[in-house]
Structure 1
Amino acid sequence: MSKQLFPLVMADVALFCLDEEQRLRLLVTQRALAPAQGNWALPGGLLKPSQDSSMEDTARRVLREKVGLDAVPLEQVRVFSGDRRDERGWSLSVLYLALLPKDQVPAVAMHKTDAVAWIDPNSPDVELAFDHASMVQAALQALRAKVRDRKLPLHLLSPLFTLTELQRACEAVLDTTMDKAAFRRRLKEREGIDFEAVEGEEKRGRQRPAQCYRATQEFYF
């Protein structure tokens, strides 16, 4: 009788933020256990049918257990599968995309994790385990496609933000610079739908005070 094959089923999360210099960064963890012990990888883990009612539940549990994050907006990107992804056997993983402001990501090394780090997703300075380099590229492509399709990455920003901060977030995602006037014209199409001005709220800096905005209740990335 041939041996029945039961694939490993897991979830991995590509979580992005902006650093203090408004550069796009990706959260990675250093694995404490085999396989790939000591290597860097996306936060991820195996499905636990006794605890998880869905693959999204698996992703959320993994973020809580490994890096102490909860209530993170998630979006499914795609499924990765194959017989050579993991030395433990045939496996499939559902990849999720997440965006958060940096000040809302108090990520720390927890269960089965030796350390956490923020890396440049465009040119990682660490080698990622398994096929996670391909996952990062898939997540980046999905994120950029949304922004090119005129979606706004408001989850990367603080609850109150300026239009300049929003432009910098879009530029960080697309890894390019954008014309200010053209960008403001584009925003006019979304104002009132995705974001709205907050009366009486301004941010002060070296220039004149800038109007603050916030996401509307109808906003969806």
Structure 2
Amino acid sequence: MKKLFPLVTADIALFTIQEGSLRVLLGKRANTPELGRWALPGGVLDPMSDSDLNDTARRVLSSKTGVDVPFLDQVATFSGAARDPRGWSLSVLYYALLPRDLVPAVAGSKTEAIEWRDAFAPGSGLAFDHAKLIAAALATLRDKVDRAALPLHLLPERFTLTELQQTCELILGRSLDKSVFRRRLKDEPRIVQLDGEFLYGPQRPAQLFRAAVDFRF
């Protein structure tokens, strides 16, 4: 009986905030299969150099985008015989968060171009089953924020509470009551007030904060 050796890959939904919306990174494939179609950054497990699939995911992001992300975590595993024309495949989906001030990314050697697409409407005709993967990663991100996780990895090193609330609203797709949100953050150990540091603009100065040293989304 012929044995099947599945193609094992890591695919990453890299999210950021850009132009007032939640975005996900897609690359235009430069190789077959799915040549010329848009896909999530992904790559095949290299058992000679990757100690685990986390290593694969970080290597893929580094080689294809040139960025190092502060947060990366697994979402789910997708598998089947029809996902990839090369044969039976297994993909571990990750999601990652990139601060908006680090958005500039450079396409690596295996992608012709990259685009930051609207995470809620990334476009039709994506390669493989990546539309399904994006939806799964987005659902995980939204559920976590809905359960009071703070998406600080999407913010610059110093941020205001208004910026934090706006980021949560962009992820959730709905407005949040300002007073309720601020009460929730009172004595919040995951953020640190920067005494004497303010963001100045047309309105009254806004207090600046940073993430706690040991913060993890």
- TM above 0.5, yes or no, is yes
Give me the whole-angstrom Cα distance separating, in 1, the residues matched to 2:25 and 2:5: 30
Give the letter aligned to residue 149 of structure 1.
Answer: R
Hey, what does 2:216 align to over in structure 1? 220
Q: Which runs of 5+ in 2 are unaligned?
A: none
Which of 40, 43, 58 is the equivalent residue of 1:42?
A: 40
How do 1:53-92 residues align onto structure 2 when only pairs under 5 Å count? 53-92=51-90
Shift of 1:127: 2.6
Give the letter aligned to residue 72 of structure 2.
Answer: L
Shift of 1:126: 4.5
Q: Which runs of 5+ in 1 are unaligned?
A: none
Give the letter aligned to residue 93 of structure 1.
Answer: S
| Native 8 Å contact 2:24 2:122 kept in 1 | no
Give me the whole-angstrom Cα distance separating, in 1, the residues matched to 2:17 and 2:6: 36
Shift of 1:71: 4.6
Structure 1 runs (4+) deviating above 3 angstroms are none
Give the letter aligned to residue 125 of structure 1.
Answer: G
How do 1:81-120 residues align onto structure 2 when only pairs under 5 Å count? 81-120=79-118
* TM, length-normalised to structure 1: 0.95
Deviations 1:57-114 (A, max 9, x none): 0001111111112254211111011111000000001111111112213311212100
Give the letter aligned to residue 45 of structure 2.
Answer: L
Hey, what does 1:19 align to over in structure 2? 18
Deviations 1:155-213 (A, max 9, x none): 00001000000000000110111111111112226x2x110100111001110000000
SS at match of 1:155: helix
* TM, length-normalised to structure 2: 0.97
- Indicate the RMSD between aligned Cα atoms, in angstroms: 1.1
Shift of 1:129: 0.8
Give me the whole-angstrom Cα distance separating, in 1, the residues matched to 2:68 and 2:17: 18
Hey, what does 1:177 align to over in structure 2? 175
SS at match of 2:139: helix
Shift of 1:121: 1.3
Paired residues, what number? Answer: 217
Give the letter aligned to residue 154 of structure 2.
Answer: L
SS at match of 1:84: coil
| Native 8 Å contact 1:60 1:72 kept in 2 | no
Identical-pair percentage? 56
